[in-house]
Amino acid sequence: MKNIQLLIILTLIVSSCGNKKEKSFDDVLASDNFTELKEKRNQINTKQQELNEQIKLLNEKIAILDTVRKVPLITTFKAKQEVFNHQLEIQGNVTTKDLLVITPEYNGILTNVYVKEGQKVNKGQLLAKIDDGGLSQQLAQLEIQTNLAKTTFERQKRLWDQNIGSEIQYLQAKSTYESQEAAVNQLKKQIAKTNVTAPFTGRIDDVITEQGSVVVAGQSQLMRIVNLNNMYIETDVPESYISNVTRGKNVTVEFPVLGKIIETKIRQAGDVINPANRTFKVEVSVPNDDKTIKPNLTARLKINDYTNENAILIPQSIISENAEGEQYIYIVNNKNSNNEGDAERLIIKTGRTQGDVIEVLEGIENGAEIIKEGARSVKDGQIVKVINLPNEN
């Protein structure tokens, strides 16, 4: 009997324990029982860890069984060290020191023009003649007087050498002859100004004043002469480049109108900064053997102002920036036989740009496989598939 009573009591105890309901989340949250709140939180954390582990196991199983899973397709290229020549791009105009508009040194009528447009002339060659207004006749008369003064002086000198005659007669004859000779030379210089000669070897580009016109010294433009051998480009360079843009630096010159590109060097770099625009002058020599390059032609210059012998260059289009302003790219690691690997984000430091590429100073090792197409759509740690074409690195 006692055993039966004991069995009934135990059954009631178990039944009462089984009917005790667990408090809901809302009930616990509404209560102020610190112990119950902590217990509920621990229960949820435990369940969350169990669920995360289960999700991980499910993903791994799905990855094995799913043959048509969506993996981002990307292209890559290998980072490699190469020579990087940064170029400053500016514009300039072709000019020459052998370009001159000739003006007369004498007033008068332009009686003769001996050259025509396009004609080649040598330095000192007679180009035109201005009427001397009777100076030639005056010179002829003066030369006759000078010859007489010379004869008189020579006779007087012979007598003086023999101690015959007075010293004053000798000195007067000498003075008369010397003054006459000086007058002849002065008149010859005046007449020489009526001859228009070529100041240097070149070609007559334009005959401006026609024969028979009245010309004024220093004002009337007679003709233009040019020599296309000694050509150069003059341009202004910002002062920030004064230590890098120096004499002897390589320059690539493009003439858009001619469709011509030449390689040359800086022949002169100015030492004075223009305070008005904070620039300095640069002269770039221009070879012109075929004479196709003309004065005032517009040119585009690419001046080598920086060189890195072991640079790593990447396209600017693949670089992104985070909230802190740091630049980053993605590379592929652990690539398997199916060309699938893990995308990894790398923070980089960049240098100078040239066209579509930029120099990487820090963050990328030589040989790294960098994501190109798809670089802006992948995420750090994501599995990606490389689909490079045969001619891609």
List, for residues 61-94, the tens digit of each pLDDT value: 766 665 555 788 889 999 999 999 888 999 999 9
Q: DSSP secondary-structure letter at 274?
A: B
Residue 7 is predicted with a pLDDT of 46
User: How far is CA 290 from each of CA 118, 211, 295, rounded to the nearest angstrom?
Assistant: 16, 33, 14
Sequence length of the chain is 393
Residue 1 is predicted with a pLDDT of 44
Q: Is pLDDT at 299 greater than 90 in this prediction?
A: yes
Per the CB < 8 A criterion, the answer to whether 322 and 309 are in contact is no
Per the CB < 8 A criterion, the answer to whether 280 and 269 are in contact is yes
Output the CATH code of domain 100-225: 2.40.50.100
Residue 214 is predicted with a pLDDT of 92
Residue 278 is predicted with a pLDDT of 94
Confidence of residue 21 (pLDDT cuts 50, 70, 90): low
> Between these two residues, 391 and 54, which has the higher pLDDT value?
54
Q: Cα(118)–Cα(99) distance, rounded to whole angstroms? A: 14
Q: Which overall architecture, per CATH, does domain 91-98+227-307 show? A: Beta Barrel (2.40)
* For range 264-280, the mean pLDDT: 92
The C-alpha angle 342, 348, 353, rounded to 5 degrees, equals 120
Q: Cα(352)–Cα(304) distance, rounded to whole angstroms? A: 13
Q: What is the DSSP string of 76-141?
A: EEE--EEEEEEEEEEEEEEEESSEEEE--SS-EEEEEE---TT-EE-TT-EEEEE--TTHHHHHHH
Confidence of residue 14 (pLDDT cuts 50, 70, 90): very low
Q: Is pLDDT at 159 greater than 90 in this prediction?
A: no
Q: Is pLDDT at 8 greater than 70 in this prediction?
A: no
Confidence of residue 22 (pLDDT cuts 50, 70, 90): low
User: How far is CA 74 from each of CA 16, 70, 245, 340, 346, rounded to the nearest angstrom?
Assistant: 64, 12, 41, 10, 17
Q: Cα(273)–Cα(280) distance, rounded to whole angstroms? A: 5
E strand spans, 239-286: 250-255, 260-269, 279-286
Count how many Cα atoms sit within 13 Å of the Cα of residue 209 in the half-sphere of its side chain. Answer: 25
Count how many Cα atoms sit within 13 Å of the Cα of residue 284 in the half-sphere of its side chain. Answer: 27
* For range 317-327, the mean pLDDT: 91
- The residues near 368 (Cβ < 8 Å, ≥ 6 apart) are 78, 79, 331, 346
Confidence of residue 155 (pLDDT cuts 50, 70, 90): confident
Confidence of residue 233 (pLDDT cuts 50, 70, 90): very high
Residue 199 is predicted with a pLDDT of 92
Please give the torsion angle defined by the CA atoms of residues 229, 230, 236 and 237, in that order, rounded to the nearest 10 degrees: 90
Residue 164 is predicted with a pLDDT of 81
Q: Any bridge partners for residue 312, and if so which?
A: 81, 360
Per the CB < 8 A criterion, the answer to whether 106 and 193 are in contact is yes
Residue 216 is predicted with a pLDDT of 93
Q: What does the buried/exposed string (b/e) look like for 180-219 if buried means 16 or more CB atoms within 10 Å of the residue's CB?
A: bbebbeebeebbebbbbebebebbbbebebeeeeebeeee
Q: Is pLDDT at 316 greater than 70 in this prediction?
A: yes
* For range 103-128, the mean pLDDT: 93
Q: Which overall architecture, per CATH, does domain 73-85+309-386 show? A: Beta Barrel (2.40)
Cβ atoms within 10 A of the Cβ of 62, count?
Answer: 10
- The residues near 230 (Cβ < 8 Å, ≥ 6 apart) are 96, 97, 98
* For range 234-260, the mean pLDDT: 92
Q: For residue 13, report the phi and psi dihedrals to the nearest 5 degrees.
A: -65, -45
Q: Is pLDDT at 3 greater than 60 in this prediction?
A: no
Summarize pLDDT for 246-257 with one digit per residue, the tens: 999 999 999 999
Per the CB < 8 A criterion, the answer to whether 245 and 305 are in contact is yes
The mean of the pLDDT values for the chain is 86
Q: Which of 231, 260, 269, 234 is nearest to 92 (CA)?
A: 234
Confidence of residue 41 (pLDDT cuts 50, 70, 90): confident
Q: Domains of the chain: which residue ranges?
A: 24-69, 73-85+309-386, 91-98+227-307, 100-225
